[in-house]
Amino acid sequence: MNAAAEIVRKPSVCPHDCPSVCALEVEVVGGARIGRVRGAPAQTYTSGVVCAKVARYSERIHHPDRLTEPLLRVGPKGSGRFAPIGWDEALDRVAEAFLDAERRFGPESVWPYFYAGTMGLVMRDGIERLTHAKRYSRFYGTICVGIAWPGWVAGTGRLIGADPREMAKSDCIVIWGTNAAATQVNLMTHAVRARKARGAKIVAVDVYETETMRQADLALRVRPGTDGALACAVMHVLFRDGHADRAYLERYTDRPADLEAHLQTRNPAWAAAITGLDVAAIEDFAALVGKTKRTFFRLGYGFSRQRNGAANLHAALCVPAVTGAWAHEGGGAFHSNSGIFKLKKTMIEGLDVRDSRVRRLDQSRIGAVLAGEPEALKEGPPVMAMLIQNTNPLVVAPNQAKVRRGFSREDLFVCVHEQFLTDTARYADVVLPATMFLEHDDLYTAGGHQHLQFAPKAIEPPPGCRSNHEVIAALAERVGARHPAFAMTPRAIIDWTLRESGYGGLAALEEARWLDLQPPFEEAHFLEGFGFPDGKFRFAPDWTRAHLSNDGLRGAWRDMPSLPDHWPVNESVDDRHPFKLATSPAHNFLNSSFTQTATSILRERRPELMIHPDDAAGLGAADGDIVEIGNERGRTRLHARLFAGAGRGVLVSEGLWPASAFLDGWGINALVGDDSVAPFGGVAFHDVAVWARRA
Ligand X SMILES: Nc1nc2c(c(=O)[nH]1)N[C@H]1C(S)=C(S)[C@@H](COP(=O)(O)OP(=O)(O)OC[C@H]3O[C@@H](n4cnc5c(=O)[nH]c(N)nc54)[C@H](O)[C@@H]3O)O[C@H]1N2
Q: How far apart are CA 225 and CA 147, in angstroms?
A: 13
Tally the C-alpha atoms within 13 A of residue 71's C-alpha that lie toward its C-beta: 25
Q: Minimum distance between the CB of residue 116 and ligand SF4, rounded to whole angstroms?
A: 12
Work out whether 416 is an interface residue with ligand SF4 (CB under 6 A): no
Cβ 229 to ligand X shortest distance, Å: 11
Q: How far is the CB of 18 from ligand SF4 (least distance, A)?
A: 3
The region of 142-150, 202-210, 399-407, 686-694 touching Mo ion under the rule CB under 5 A is: 142-150
Residue 22 binds which entry of ligand X, Mo ion, ligand SF4, none, CB below 5-8 Å type-dependent = ligand SF4
Candidates 28, 34, 40, 50; binder of ligand SF4 (CB under 6 A) is: 50
- What is the maximal distance between C-alpha atoms in the chain? 75
CA 579 to chain CA mean position, Å: 25
By CB under 5 A, residue 621 contacts Mo ion = no
Q: Is residue 18 near ligand SF4 by the rule CB under 6 A? A: yes
Q: Cα–Cα distance between 431 and 453 in angstroms, integer? A: 30
State which residue, 239 or 685, has the beta carbon closest to Mo ion: 685
Minimum Å gap between C-beta 294 and Mo ion is 29
Q: Is 511 exposed, middle or buried (0-12, 13-18, 19+ CB in 10 A)?
A: exposed
219 binds, among Mo ion, ligand X, ligand SF4, none (CB under 5 to 8 A by kind): none
Task: Tell me the DSSP string of 155-194.
Answer: HHSSS--S-GGGGGG-SEEEEES--HHHH-HHHHHHHHHH
**Cα–Cα distance, 38 to 12 (Å, whole number):** 10
Choice between 117 and 324, CB closer to Mo ion? 117
Contacts of 558 (CB under 8 A, 6+ apart): 569, 678, 679
What is the sign, positive or negative, of the torsion defined by CA atoms of 82, 87, 91, 92?
negative
Residue 306: name its binding partner from ligand X, ligand SF4, Mo ion, none (Cβ under 5 to 8 Å by kind).
Answer: ligand X
Amino acid at 149: W
Is 371 a residue that touches Mo ion (CB under 5 A)? no
Which one, 541 or 655, has the nearer CB to ligand X?
A: 655
> Which of 34, 234, 313, 590 touches ligand SF4 (CB under 6 A)?
590
Sign of CA dihedral 604, 605, 606, 612: negative
**Choosing among Mo ion, ligand X, ligand SF4, none, which partner's interface includes residue 189 (Cβ < 5 to 8 Å by kind)?**
none
* Interface residues toward ligand X, by CB under 6 A: 17-18, 115-118, 123, 143-144, 177-179, 182-184, 205-208, 210, 222, 224-225, 227, 300-303, 305-306, 389-392, 396, 417-420, 422, 434, 468, 582-587, 589-593, 656, 668-669, 672, 685-686
Residue number of the CB closest to Mo ion reads 144
Q: List the helix and strand counts (H, then E) for the chain.
A: 25, 25
Q: How far is it, in rounded angstroms, from Cα 330 to Cα 258?
A: 28
Nearest to 246 by CA among 185, 317, 168, 327: 327
- How far, in Å, CA of 383 to CA of 110, rounded? 6
Q: Is 21 in the site for ligand SF4 (CB under 6 A)?
A: yes
Q: Is 180 in the site for Mo ion (CB under 5 A)?
A: no
Residue 415's binding partner among Mo ion, ligand X, ligand SF4, none (Cβ under 5 to 8 angstroms by kind) is: none
Residue 446 as a binder of ligand SF4 (CB under 6 A): the answer is: no
Q: Between the CA of residue 230 and those of 138, 169, 279, 652, what are the distances in Å? A: 39, 26, 10, 21
Residue with smaller CB distance to ligand X, 460 or 522: 460
Q: Which of 11, 12, 20, 175 forms a contact with ligand SF4 (CB under 6 A)?
A: 20
Report CA torsion sign: 471, 660, 607, 308: positive
Residue 16 touching ligand SF4 (CB under 6 A): yes
> Closest CB to ligand SF4 among 28 and 481?
28
CA-CA distance, 465 to 433, in Å (whole number)?
5
User: Closest distance between ligand X and the C-beta of residue 574, in Å?
Assistant: 19
How far is the CA of 288 from the CAs of 176, 241, 323, in angstroms? 15, 12, 11
In contact, 158 and 339? CB cutoff 8 Å: yes
Task: Select the span of 47-55, 218-226, 424-432, 522-530 touching ligand SF4 (CB under 6 A).
Answer: 47-55
Which residues have CB under 8 Å from 357's CB, separation 6+? none
Please choose which of Mo ion, ligand X, ligand SF4, none residue 302 contacts, taking the beta carbon within 5 to 8 angstroms, the exact cut-off set by kind.
ligand X
144 binds Mo ion, rule: CB under 5 A: yes
State which residue, 544 or 599, has the beta carbon closest to ligand X: 599
Site size toward ligand SF4, by CB under 6 A: 12
181 binds ligand SF4 (CB under 6 A): no
- Locate the DSSP E strands across 542-598: 579-582
The distance of closest approach from Cβ of residue 117 to ligand X in the complex, given in angstroms and rounded to an integer, is 2
Specify whether the CB–CB gap between 69 and 402 falls below 8 A: no
Among Mo ion, ligand SF4, ligand X, none, what does residue 185 contact (CB within 5–8 Å per kind)? ligand SF4
Residue 54 found at the interface with ligand SF4 (CB under 6 A): yes
Q: By C-alpha distance, which of 382, 635, 350, 631 is closest to 483?
A: 350
The interface with ligand SF4 within residues 372-391 (CB under 6 A) comprises none
Stretch that binds ligand SF4, among 17-25, 164-172, 302-310, 372-380 (CB under 6 A): 17-25
Binding residues (CB under 5 A) for Mo ion: these are 144
